[in-house]
Amino acid sequence: MKRIFILYVFLALPLLFLAQPPQGKKETNVQMNAGYMNIQTNQSTENGLINSAPQTEQNTLIKSDSVYFNVERKGNENRLKDQEQLSVDQTTQTIRSFSLVRQKSKLNNFQRTPLPAEQHEMDTKVQQLEQLSPQSWEYQFAFYSAGNYNLDRAPAMEKAFEMNPDDSEVLKQYFSVKYISGDTLNAANTLSTMSLYGSLSLDIERYTSDVLLSCSPSSTLITHGFEDSYGCFFNQFNHQQSVDVRIISLDFLQSPQYRSELSKLGYKFPNSARVDVGYLNQFCYLNADKNIHLSMTLPRTYLEQMAKKLYPCGLTFVYADSPPVDLPSRQQNLWFYQLTKYGLNEGEQKTKFASNYLPMLYVLLRKFEREGDELQAQQIHESIDRIQVKQVSKKLGD
């Protein structure tokens, strides 16, 4: 009997283990449904949001990431702005340095072509601008300007003008491109703009009008700097004054294209690319048949070598082996009947060019004193005194 009981126990135990589900592994349908209801109940919130506790934690992480990326983006933007501003500041500083070197070269009283050291410094500044801001108007302007009116660099000047058409220095260089290339329409328009902006003042316009009046018909006028060159160009293009006079700018003579065009008109040139005192002396000698007049705004150093061949005529010096026969009558007509003498008359603002009228006045004074014409001599004396008084007043700051 005991053996039978033990056998029964051994047979019943496996059935009990099979009937007992493992804890946490299986659930009844009711338990699963109840659990599903509990999950859905836990997922609802007062705001109707699902899975509020995990979602809140998730949103916090998203917001943290968003703040991080916004801060990083703003930091990058600020760094880019700082870099751009630094580039702009460096570009501005470099173009100023370039302009100072170029201006210094223009103040040289012995040559128009920059000195080797000045040219090297300008070229260095151009390279710096190319690295800093190759698409800027400053680089385009400097690249052309450092070429000393070489039209091979003209496309750069065109770009500079497109980007900054109101800058006075850009307008000057843009005019040189248009004039040397023969685009007279745009050259005239550029001069009009410069006059409108005040780069070409009324003082310059009136003075250079007298310069052109001083030239004999179909003559050649040699000018030196901006004021006498551009002022004469303005009166020719915009007022159609003395259009038969050929204006030759010493500045522009640096341009190979400019020299090439003049050679087609019969002008001869020294065997030198450097435009200086000696260059002008040789140029006048080679082209003595061109009825040359030299503007009195040329520095004295340019005129000293040719002094024996120069004769005052209005606001120019005539280059000739001997004084022209009609020179005395021309001088008299110019002073009394033709020249506007703007800035010398009563009630007019004093002109800084007043002293340039003196050489001709001294010639006229000697002429009238030699002829015994006391009345005319007295008038010339008064004009000389008025100019000299204005010169003294100007020096005193009046």
Residue 87 CB: number of other CB atoms within 10 A? 14
Asked if residue 223 and residue 369 are part of one domain, the reply reads yes
Phi-psi region of 9 (alpha: psi -120 to 50; beta: other; left: phi over 0): alpha
Shared domain for 329 and 204, answered yes or no, is yes
Is the Cβ–Cβ distance between 238 and 131 less than 8 Å? no
Is a pLDDT exceeding 80 seen at residue 391? no
- Examine the domain organization and report whether 284 and 241 are in the same domain: yes
**HSE, side-chain direction, 13 A CA sphere, residue 188:** 9
User: Cβ(348)–Cβ(342) under 8 Å?
Assistant: yes
Residues 164 and 220 in one domain: no
Which of 193, 220, 255 finishes a domain?
A: 193
In a 10 Å sphere around its CB, with 0-12 CB exposed, 13-18 middle and 19+ buried, how is residue 210 labelled?
buried
Number of independent structural domains in the chain: 2
pTM > 0.85: yes or no: no
Q: Which residues pair with 292 in a beta bridge?
A: 220
Q: Does a structural domain hold residue 83?
A: no
341 and 261 inside one domain: yes
* Residue 302 shares a structural domain with residue 352: yes
Residue 222 lies in a domain: yes
Mean pLDDT of 330-354: 91
**Does one domain contain both 218 and 348?**
yes
In terms of domains, do 241 and 330 share one?
yes
Strands, E assignment, 264-353: 292-295, 310-313, 316-319
Residue 43 has pLDDT above 90, yes or no: no
Cβ neighbours of residue 391 under 8 Å, at least 6 residues apart?
354, 355
What angle (nearest 5°) sits at the alpha carbon of residue 357, between those of residues 355 and 360? 130
Token pair in block for residue 109: 């009283």
Residue 4 lies in a domain: no
Closest to 210 (Cα-Cα) out of 202, 41, 144: 202
For residue 51, being part of any structural domain is answered with no
**Other Cβ atoms within 10 Å of 11 Cβ, number:** 9
Output the pLDDT for position 247: 98
- Pick the last residue of a domain from 163, 193, 223: 193
Query: Which pLDDT score is estimated for 218?
Result: 96
Tokens representing residue 232 in the block: 């004469």
- The answer to whether residue 334 sits within a structural domain is yes
CA dist 74 → 70, 78, 82 (Å): 6, 6, 12
* CA 112, chain centre distance (Å): 19
Residues 323, 301 contacting (CB under 8 angstroms): no
Q: Apex CA 353: angle with CA 262 and CA 235, to 5°?
A: 45
Residues 237 and 380 in one domain: yes
**pLDDT given for residue 142 in this prediction:** 97
Q: Say if residue 148's pLDDT is above 50.
A: yes
Pair 225, 117 in one domain: no
**Averaged pLDDT for residues 316-344:** 95
Radius of gyration of the chain (CA): 44
d(CA 156, CA 133): 14
Amino acid of residue 284: C
How far is it, in rounded angstroms, from Cα 220 to Cα 49? 94
pLDDT in the model for residue 164: 97
Q: What is the CB neighbour count within 10 angstroms for residue 201?
A: 12
Q: Are residues 103 and 221 in the same domain?
A: no
Confidence band, pLDDT 50/70/90 cuts, at residue 88 = confident
Answer yes or no: do 241 and 349 share one domain.
yes
How confident is the model over 149-201, as pLDDT tens digits?
A: 999 999 999 999 999 999 999 999 999 999 999 999 999 999 999 999 999 99
pLDDT at 21 over 90: no
Domain of residue 260 covers: 200-395
